[in-house]
Each structure stands twice: as C-alpha cells, then as structure tokens.
C-alpha cells in the first residue's frame, strides 16, 4: 500500500479527480475525510456528533477525531493499493500524524485553482447522498437534471456549500492547509497540476503527476 495525498482548496476538484481515477482502476482507493465525517454525522456516532457544528460552520473538526478515522482506514488497507487521500492532512499537525505512523507517502499533488473560480464551482456543486458521486450544474451535469447517473438518487446541495461558509472555508484553507505545500516540498514529495482544465484533463494530469 502507498499513499498519494491530494492538496487543494475546497472546490478545487480533488474529490472529482480521485473518484474518477478510482472508478477506472481497482488498485486505486479513494478515501475522503469529508465523506468519512459526513457518514459519521449521518449515523450520529460520537465522532459525528462532535464534528457536526465545526463542519456546518466551515471550520476544521478537531484533529484527533479525523486522525483516528484516517489511521483506522490506513491500518485496514493492505496489498497492492494506492490510496488517494483526499482532505487529510489539512494542517501541519495532521501531516505529523502521518509521519508518526510512518505512512508510506508516495507524493502530494496540489490541484491548483485560483480563489476567484472556487466560489462559482461550489455554487454549482451537487452531490449524491447515497453513492457520493459529484456533479456540477454546468461543468459536469448529470444526464437527468437533479438525479445521480450512477444510482438514480436525487442529488443534494451540501449544507456547508452556501456562499458565506465557503468564504470561511477558503480562509481556513489559506491559513491551515496551504503551509502543507512547503511541508511536502521540503520532503521532495510535492507535485502540482493546473486544476482548471475540465474534469477529464484534470484527472489525466493528476495521474501523470502522482
């Protein structure tokens, strides 16, 4: 098992890229910290209850909560698998958790998208609550409006995708997550792609870079 970290702002397309690559290659496993947390919130587990308020406010949940979930997933992933780790680490403390367990990190790929474009992207974002497939009303519309192509479920808008919360999430990104670019650069693990090429080319560029 080895790990490729996806770095990038909220709405930069990390989840779309990882989902697309994982659906094409059985050796790639997409692990999204946001999906793990939303699952815990939906189930009402203790971790979910503790995470809910921070998520709705666009703030980071406590490091320990998400770190435990990610460590569990890493521990149970074995064999010839590359994990596409999306949304973790999100600050230097979380990156140090991966160091402490000697996680086999192959690369950290930054999906680069300017802030001006992010707001539009998130405003049009729709998600399948059942299979987690992601869509965009303009850039990546489902075949039937409002319905998931893969499983036929009605698409939803995430609670934290409203414009005010998005602004807060970008502030958090620049303050907490951006320092990871230097962190992985110093280790010689950083790669960078232009995340503004459309879903298909983004995914191809990512695959080449990772």
Q: Which of 38, 52, 125, 132 is catalytic?
A: 125
Q: What is the β-pairing status of strands 28-32 and 105-112?
A: unpaired
Quick note: the x/- pattern for ligand ADP over 105-134, rule CB under 6 A, is: ------------------------------
Q: Does 177 bind ligand ADP (CB under 6 A)?
A: no
Q: Which of 117, 159, 166, 124 has its CA nearest to residue 145?
A: 124
Catalytic residue among 158, 167, 191, 192: 158
- 60 lies in the binding site for ligand ADP (CB under 6 A): yes
Residue 180 token pair: 């990871």
Contacts of 132 (CB under 8 A, 6+ apart): 19, 32, 35
Is there binding between residue 90 and ligand ADP (CB under 6 A)?
yes
| Annotated catalytic residue 138 | no
Q: Is 14 left (phi over 0), alpha (psi -120 to 50) or beta?
A: alpha
State which of residues 34, 48, 134, 195 lies at the interface with ligand ADP (CB under 6 A): 34
Pick the stretch among 33-41, 75-83, 108-116, 127-135 that binds ligand ADP (CB under 6 A).
33-41
Instruction: Give min distance, CB of 197 to ligand ADP, in A.
Output: 19
CA-closest candidate to residue 210, choices 67, 2, 35: 2
20 tagged catalytic: no
Helices (H), the chain: 14-24, 33-43, 46-56, 63-76, 92-100, 115-123, 163-172, 179-186, 199-209
Contact 200, 18 (CB under 8 A): no
Q: Does 88 bind ligand ADP (CB under 6 A)?
A: yes
- Residue numbers 132-171 binding ligand ADP by CB under 6 A: 160, 169
- Residue 31 contacts ligand ADP per CB under 6 A: no
Q: Which residues pair with 125 in a beta bridge?
A: 136
The answer to whether residue 55 forms part of the interface with ligand ADP (CB under 6 A) is yes
Number of residues that bind ligand ADP (CB under 6 A): 18
11 is a site residue for ligand ADP (CB under 6 A) = yes
CA distance 56 to 158: 9
Residues interacting with ligand ADP, by CB under 6 A? 10-11, 33-34, 37, 54-55, 58-61, 66, 87-88, 90, 94, 160, 169
Residues annotated as part of the active site: 14, 90, 125, 158, 169
């Amino acid at each position: 098992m080895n790990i490729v970290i996806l770095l990038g702002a909220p709405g930069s397309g990390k989840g779309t890229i990882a989902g697309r690559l994982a659906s094409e290659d059985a050796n790639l496993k997409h692990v999204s910290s946001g999906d793990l947390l939303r699952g815990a919130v939906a189930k009402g587990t203790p971790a979910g209850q503790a995470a809910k308020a921070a998520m709705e406010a666009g703030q980071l949940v406590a490091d320990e909560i998400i770190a435990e979930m990610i460590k569990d997933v890493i521990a149970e992933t074995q064999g010839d698998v590359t994990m596409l780790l999306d949304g973790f680490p999100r600050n230097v403390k979380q990156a140090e958790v991966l160091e402490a367990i000697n996680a086999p990190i192959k690369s950290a790929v930054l999906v680069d998208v300017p802030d001006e474009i992010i707001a539009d992207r998130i405003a049009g974002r729709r998600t399948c609550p059942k299979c987690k497939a992601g869509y965009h009303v303009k850039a990546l519309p489902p075949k039937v409006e409002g319905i998931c192509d893969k499983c036929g479920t009605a698409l939803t808008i995430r609670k934290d995708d409203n414009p005010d919360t998005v602004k807060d999430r970008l502030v958090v990104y620049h303050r907490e997550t951006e320092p990871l670019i230097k962190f992985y650069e110093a280790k010689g693990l950083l790669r960078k792609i232009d995340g503004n090429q459309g879903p298909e080319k983004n995914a191809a560029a990512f695959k080449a870079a990772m």
